[in-house]
Amino acid sequence: MSRALHAEWTKLRTLPSTGWLLAALAAVTVLVGAAVTGAVDTSHCATPAGCAEDTPRLALSGVRIAQVAAVALGALAVGGEYAAGTIGATLTAVPRRVTVLAAKAAVVSGAVAASGTAGVLGAVAAGRLILPRNGFTPEHGYPLLSPADGATARAAFGTVLYLVLTALLALGAGAALRDSAAAITAVLALLWIVPVLASLVADDTWQRRLDRFAPMTAGLAVQSTRSLERLPIGPWAGLGVLAAYAVAALLAGGARFAARDA
């Protein structure tokens, strides 16, 4: 396994796209989060304390866009080898296909976790600087954002896990489809279209039911720190829904990867 891990890490870090995608993931998380946070203030509320904004969620909102980079990295980790025709050499060096896929999953998870952590910490730091200037102060019931705060720590850690799971979802899709573009399209459609369809449902009960099983809506519930009782699904349960999608994709991709010729 160590040999497979070393080989997969070497391949991933030497791909020109890897550095750009990881940098984009971190940068977009910070910049979009800062832009969204800067655009919200307490002036539209009757009182600053009455705004009831979920400030950690605001600061981490850039992940909705940044996840595209995580999805692309996961899909390219396996689909790129099929496109380049190097998958045969990989399987010659490591004949056990389950080991190859597990090694890919491990290195992709590690890379996305590292980049995601940098982006999330940067977004929290940006929010800590911006929010008080917009009226979200401790005096008005909004503690300064800090990774040491329990609710913010859960939102931040859960957001990193969310990014890792979306990358693994894309990795599984890439193994099943053997095509990076198709895998990226399929995963982004799953993440974005399901919430849109749910919003078109007129019945509130059915809308909440659909939101419980939409991978992005459910997964990003982990960012919420206020009014948790109003969520269609709890923070950790929602992340569990996304994890189930990722596991299903990896099992499907692994089965097809193991059963088919290179």
| Cβ neighbours of residue 206 closer than 8 Å, sequence gap 6 or more | none
| Cβ neighbours of residue 83 closer than 8 Å, sequence gap 6 or more | 179, 180
SS (H, E, C) 20-48: HHHHHHHHHHHHHHHHHHHCCCCCCCCCH
Predicted pLDDT of residue 43: 82
Predicted pLDDT of residue 148: 87
* pLDDT at 158 > cutoff 90: yes
For 179, list phi and psi in degrees, rounded to 5: -150, 120
* pLDDT at 180 > cutoff 70: yes
Domain residue ranges in the chain:
2-259
Predicted pLDDT of residue 218: 93
Closest Cα to residue 58, out of 145, 138, 139, 158?
145
Residue ranges in 42-149 assigned as alpha helix (H): 55-59, 63-84, 87-93, 97-130
* pLDDT at 92 > cutoff 70: no
Predicted pLDDT of residue 132: 92
> In which residue are the tokens 């923070």 written?
235
Predicted pLDDT of residue 30: 98
> What distance in Å separates the CA atoms of residue 93 and residue 91, rounded to the nearest whole number?
5
Predicted pLDDT of residue 243: 97
Chain segment 246-256, per-residue pLDDT in tens: 999 999 998 88
Q: Note the pTM of the prediction, 2 decimals.
A: 0.93
> In which residue are the tokens 């709890």 written?
234
The residue-averaged pLDDT of 41-68 equals 88
Both ends of the chain: CA-CA distance in Å?
Answer: 20
- Quickly state the pLDDT bin for 87 (edges 50, 70, 90): confident
| Percent of the chain scoring above 90 in pLDDT | 57
> What distance in Å separates the CA atoms of residue 81 and residue 87, rounded to the nearest whole number?
5
CB count within 10 Å of CB 145 equals 28
The residue-averaged pLDDT of 107-112 equals 96
User: How deeply is 26 buried, as exposed, middle or buried, from its count of CB atoms within 10 A (0-12, 13-18, 19+)?
Assistant: buried
**What is the average pLDDT score of the chain?**
89
Do 170 and 253 meet the contact criterion of CB atoms below 8 Å apart? no
User: What is residue 144's DSSP assignment?
Assistant: P
* pLDDT at 194 > cutoff 90: no
pLDDT: is 183 or 230 the higher one? Answer: 183
